[in-house]
């Protein structure tokens, strides 16, 4: 949860223009997590969550 929260904070600050860019020092996106299944110690796919929330909250279109 901490990793997801850190990534969300960074993503929203970049999207809002508060910071120019950023780098989240967390395990790779989802590391082992599948779209709807946790695996190993990976319960959340951090990048997928961040992308979805940016689309929902800030009407961001495509995410690379």
Tens-level pLDDT at each residue, the chain (64 residues) = 888 899 999 999 999 999 999 998 887 655 676 767 777 667 777 888 899 999 999 988 888 7
pLDDT for res 46:
84
Q: Is-contact 33 42, C-beta < 8 A?
A: yes
pLDDT for res 31:
64
| Cα dihedral 8/9/15/21 (nearest 10) | -110
Positions marked active-site: 32
Instruction: Spell 13-40 as b/e; 16+ CB within 10 A means b.
Output: eeeeeeeeeeebeeeebbeebeeeeeee
pTM: 0.73
Task: Fill in the DSSP letter of residue 63.
Answer: -
Closest Cα partner for 30 from 45, 41, 40, 43? 45
């Amino acid at each position: 949860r901490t990793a997801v929260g850190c990534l969300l904070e960074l993503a929203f600050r970049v999207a809002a223009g508060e910071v120019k860019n950023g780098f989240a020092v967390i395990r790779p996106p989802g590391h082992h997590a599948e779209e709807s299944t946790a695996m190993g110690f990976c319960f959340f796919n951090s990048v997928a969550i961040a992308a979805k929330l940016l689309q929902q909250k800030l009407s961001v279109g495509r995410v690379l």
